A and B are shown apart, each in its own frame.
Chain A
Amino acid sequence: MSILINCINLNKKYMNKVALEEITLKFESGKIYGVLGPNGSGKTTLMKIIADLHKQSSGEITVCGNKPSHETRSKVAYMPTENFVYGWMKVKDSLAFYNDMYADFDMNKALDLMTFMELDLNQKVSSLSTGQRARLKISLTICRDAEVIMLDEPLNGLDPISRTKIKECIIEQFDENSVMIVSTHLVTEIEQILDEVIFLGNGRLVLQGRAEDLRFERGKSIEDIYREVFAHA
Chain B
Amino acid sequence: MEFNNDLPIYQQIINMIKHDIVSGKIPSGQKLLSTRDLAIKLKVNPNTIQRVYKELETEEVCLTKRGLGTFVTEEEEMILVMKEALVSDMVKTFVEGMVKLNYNKENIIEKINRQFEKEDQQDVNIN
A-side interface residues toward B, CB under 8 Å?
30-32, 164, 167-168, 171-172, 174, 188, 191-195, 212, 215-216, 219-224
Question: Is the Cβ of A32 less than 8 Å from the Cβ of B6?
Answer: no
Chain A interface mostly helix, strand, loop or mixed?
helix
B-side interface residues toward A, CB under 8 Å?
3, 5-10, 36, 39-40, 43-48, 51
Using CB atoms, name the residue of chain A closest to B5.
A221
Q: Assuming A215-B7, A219-B6, is B47 touching A172 (CB within 8 A)?
A: no
Using CB atoms, name the residue of chain B closest to A191.
B5
Question: Is the Cβ of B6 less than 8 Å from the Cβ of A212?
Answer: no
Interface pairs A-B: 6 shortest CB-CB:
A221-B5, A212-B8, A192-B44, A193-B45, A216-B8, A215-B8
Question: Is the Cβ of B6 less than 8 Å from the Cβ of A224?
Answer: yes
Q: Assuming A171-B36, A172-B40, is B47 touching A31 (CB within 8 A)?
A: yes
Question: Is the Cβ of A168 less than 8 Å from the Cβ of B43?
Answer: yes
How far apart are the CA atoms of A223 and B10 in the complex, in Å?
A: 17
Question: Is the Cβ of A174 less than 8 Å from the Cβ of B7?
Answer: no
Enumerate chain B residues within 8 angstroms of A167, measured Cβ to Cβ: 43
Question: Is the Cβ of A212 less than 8 Å from the Cβ of B10?
Answer: yes
Enumerate chain A residues within 8 angstroms of B45, measured Cβ to Cβ: 32, 171, 192-195
How far apart are the CA atoms of A50 and B39 in the complex, in Å?
A: 28
Question: Is the Cβ of A168 less than 8 Å from the Cβ of B40?
Answer: yes
How far apart are the CA atoms of A195 and B10 in the complex, in Å?
A: 11
